[in-house]
Amino acid sequence: MKRTLICAFILCVSSTPSLSGLAPLEAVLFDVDGTLCDSDPLHYYAFRELLQEIGFNGGVPITEDFFVENIAGKHNEDIATLLFPDDHPRGVKFLEDKEAMFRRFAKEQVKPIDGIYKLRKWIEDRGLKRAAVTNAPRLNAELMISILGLSDFFDYVVLGSDCDRAKPFPDPYLKALELLGVSKDHTIVFEDSVSGIKAGVAAGMPVIGLTTRNPEHLLMQAKPTFLIKDYEDPKLWAALEELDKKATGSA
The answer to whether 150 and 31 have CB atoms below 8 angstroms apart is: no
Q: Do 27 and 187 meet the contact criterion of CB atoms below 8 Å apart?
A: yes
State residue 29 phi and psi, 5-degree precision: -115, 135
Q: Is 233 a catalytic residue?
A: no
Question: What is the pLDDT tens value at each position of the chain, 251 positions in all?
Answer: 444 444 444 444 345 688 999 999 999 999 999 999 999 999 999 999 999 999 998 999 999 999 988 998 889 999 999 999 999 999 999 999 999 999 999 998 999 999 999 999 999 999 999 999 999 999 999 999 999 999 999 999 999 999 999 999 999 999 999 999 999 999 999 999 999 999 999 999 999 999 998 999 999 999 999 999 999 999 999 999 999 999 888 64
Can you spell out the DSSP letters for 141-188? HHHHHHHTT-TTT-SEEEEGGGSSS-TTSSHHHHHHHHHHT--GGGEE
Which of 31, 171, 192, 233 does the annotation list as catalytic?
31
What pLDDT does 8 receive? 42
Per the document, the length of the chain is 251
User: Please, which residues bridge with residue 28 across strands?
Assistant: 130, 188
Per-residue confidence (pLDDT) for residue 250, from 0 to 100 = 61
**Quick check: bond before 137 cis, omega within 30?**
no
Given a contact cutoff of 8 angstroms between Cβ atoms, the answer to whether 168 and 195 are in contact is yes
- DSSP H helices in the chain: 2-14, 40-53, 64-70, 76-83, 88-109, 116-125, 138-147, 171-180, 194-202, 216-221, 234-248
CA distance 2 to 161: 57
The active-site residue out of 33, 38, 40, 233 is 33
For the four alpha carbons of 61, 73, 141 and 35, in that order, the dihedral sign comes to positive
CA–CA distance, 101 with 84 (Å, rounded to integer): 19
Cβ-in-10-Å burial (0-12, 13-18, 19+) of 146 comes to exposed
Output the CA–CA distances (angstroms, integers) from residue 6 to 1, 3, 14, 127, 164, in the order listed. 9, 5, 12, 41, 51
The whole-number pLDDT of residue 14 equals 40
31 catalytically annotated? yes
- For the four alpha carbons of 125, 151, 79 and 50, in that order, the dihedral sign comes to positive
For residue 147, which amino acid is it?
I
